[in-house]
């Protein structure tokens, strides 16, 4: 089972590259962040992520978990996480880390520290077994090692949700470094697929701040009952983040 985790970057600012990559990889499950659910056909493609992905890719099952309603110059558009699957999604739910769904001014840096974030959960049936997929974008903090109150609560919510579940895959743009206590707390319950192997998970072609070159914030974790066959983080220019590709034995 091939799983891809990718932050689309404002819904897909480099959408052509995203689509080419996803078609070529042909993964079984996609765990995507910064996905937009705009429905107005006059909106740019990146603000209509869900519509474009549904139209351009061959995934019969998907689930969208909006975390906020972004106020953009073009109008108001929902933004959040999305899971796409070749296998049936038999149930899904959303848990917010702290602040509930609300409107926000999308490009106002003052909004970033309090932006609502949620944990998306989809139960996917594969070979008559239920797999628990969790997808999230972490609470924002420019200091990747700061174990803030919001990050502490985020890790507590995640641990509470995954405990006791079989066949767990947790992935996303954590907005934290692997050394952050919020992440090491999660690692007490799940296996970190990449650990501390990756120097960064950012596409430095799209970043001006050199600090991002040593910040690995995109991560994937699996429960001990899943075996990791292969893992990759290709350095490709399709987002301001790099994708994670993991193949698991099922």
Domain ranges of the chain: 2-249
Instruction: Note the pLDDT of residue 250.
Output: 85
Q: To the nearest 10°, the Cα dihedral for 120, 124, 129, 133?
A: -30
pTM: 0.98
What Rg value do the Cα atoms of the chain yield, rounded? 17
Place of tokens 């006791």: 164
- CA pair distance 168, 182, nearest whole angstrom: 18
Of 30, 4, 31, 2, give the one whose Cα is nearest residue 229. Answer: 2
Please report which confidence band the pLDDT of residue 133 belongs to, taking 50, 70 and 90 as the band edges: very high
Please report which confidence band the pLDDT of residue 208 belongs to, taking 50, 70 and 90 as the band edges: very high
Instruction: Note the pLDDT of residue 228.
Output: 98
| Average pLDDT over the chain, rounded to an integer | 97
Instruction: Note the pLDDT of residue 210.
Output: 94
Mean pLDDT computed over 205-209: 96
Question: Residue 105 burial (CB < 10 Å; 0-12/13-18/19+)?
Answer: exposed
% of the chain exceeding 90 in pLDDT: 99
- CA pair distance 179, 177, nearest whole angstrom: 5
Collapsed DSSP state (helix, strand, coil) of residue 109: helix
Instruction: Note the pLDDT of residue 8.
Output: 98
* CATH code of the region 2-249: 3.60.10.10
């Amino acid at each position: 089972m091939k799983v891809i985790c990718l932050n689309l970057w404002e819904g897909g600012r480099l959408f052509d590259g995203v689509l080419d990559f996803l078609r070529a990889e042909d993964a079984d499950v996609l765990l995507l962040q910064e996905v937009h659910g705009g429905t107005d056909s006059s909106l740019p493609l990146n603000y209509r992520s869900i519509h474009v992905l549904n139209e351009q890719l061959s995934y019969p099952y998907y689930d969208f978990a909006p975390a906020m309603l972004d106020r953009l110059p073009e109008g108001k558009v929902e933004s959040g996480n999305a899971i796409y699957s070749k296998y049936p999604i038999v149930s899904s739910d959303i848990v917010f880390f702290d602040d509930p769904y609300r409107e926000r001014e999308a490009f106002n840096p003052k909004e970033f520290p309090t932006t609502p974030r949620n944990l998306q959960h989809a139960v996917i049936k594969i070979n008559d077994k239920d797999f628990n997929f969790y997808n999230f974008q972490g609470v924002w903090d420019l200091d990747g090692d700061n174990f803030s109150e919001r990050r502490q609560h985020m890790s507590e919510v995640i641990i509470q949700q995954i405990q006791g579940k079989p066949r767990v895959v947790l992935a996303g743009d954590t907005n934290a470094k692997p050394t952050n206590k919020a992440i090491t707390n999660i690692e007490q319950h799940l296996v970190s697929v990449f650990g501390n192997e990756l120097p960064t998970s950012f596409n430095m072609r799209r970043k001006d701040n050199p600090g991002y070159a040593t910040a690995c914030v995109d991560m994937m974790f699996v429960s001990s009952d899943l075996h990791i066959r292969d893992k990759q983080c290709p350095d490709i220019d399709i987002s301001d983040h790099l994708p994670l590709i993991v193949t698991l034995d099922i």
